C-alpha cells in the first residue's frame, strides 16, 4: 500500500515515517483492497500537552475511511487511529460478506 505522509509546519523524521508505514501495513491483514493512505501530522499551538494531531485517510473501494486523533505523541495518535480503522475495516468487510 502507498502511504503519503505530510507534516504541517515541521519535518517528520524517518523513524516516525517508518513507524507509520509499519502500522498501516498491518491494516492489510484486515482489509486487502486498500488503495493508499494519506497521513497528516500537525502540531497545535496550545498550552495543552496533547497538541499532536494525526489524521489518516484510507482510500478503499466504496468510499474512504477517515480518522482523526489528538494525543501527546504522534506514535500514540497513530496507534489509536490504526486501532479505530481496524474496527471500521472489519465492520465494512462483514457488511460486504453479508451482501455478497
> What CATH number did the domain enclosing 50 receive?
3.30.160.100
For residue 99, pLDDT beyond 80: no
In this prediction the pTM is 0.89
User: Model confidence over 28-82: pLDDT tens digits?
Assistant: 998 888 999 999 999 988 888 889 999 999 999 888 999 999 999 999 999 999 9
Q: Quick one: pLDDT band at residue 83, thresholds 50, 70, 90? A: very high
Residue 84 CB contacts under 8 Å (≥ 6 apart), including other chains: 67, 69
The number of distinct structural domains making up the chain is 1
Measured CA to CA, the distance from residue 93 to residue 85 in angstroms comes to 12
Q: How much is the pLDDT for 100?
A: 61
Residue ranges making up the domain that contains 19: 2-99
Among the listed residues 15, 70, 22, 3, the one whose alpha carbon sits nearest the alpha carbon of residue 42: 70
Amino acid at each position: 500500500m502507498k502511504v503519503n505522509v505530510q507534516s504541517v509546519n515541521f519535518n517528520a523524521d524517518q523513524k516516525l515515517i517508518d513507524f507509520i508505514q509499519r502500522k498501516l501495513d498491518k491494516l492489510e491483514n484486515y482489509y486487502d483492497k486498500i488503495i493508499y493512505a494519506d497521513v497528516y501530522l500537525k502540531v497545535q499551538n496550545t498550552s495543552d500537552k496533547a497538541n499532536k494531531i494525526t489524521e489518516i485517510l484510507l482510500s478503499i473501494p466504496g468510499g474512504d475511511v477517515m480518522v482523526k486523533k489528538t494525543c501527546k505523541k504522534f506514535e500514540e495518535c497513530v496507534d489509536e487511529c490504526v486501532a479505530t480503522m481496524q474496527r471500521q475495516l472489519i465492520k465494512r468487510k462483514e457488511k460486504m460478506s453479508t451482501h455478497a
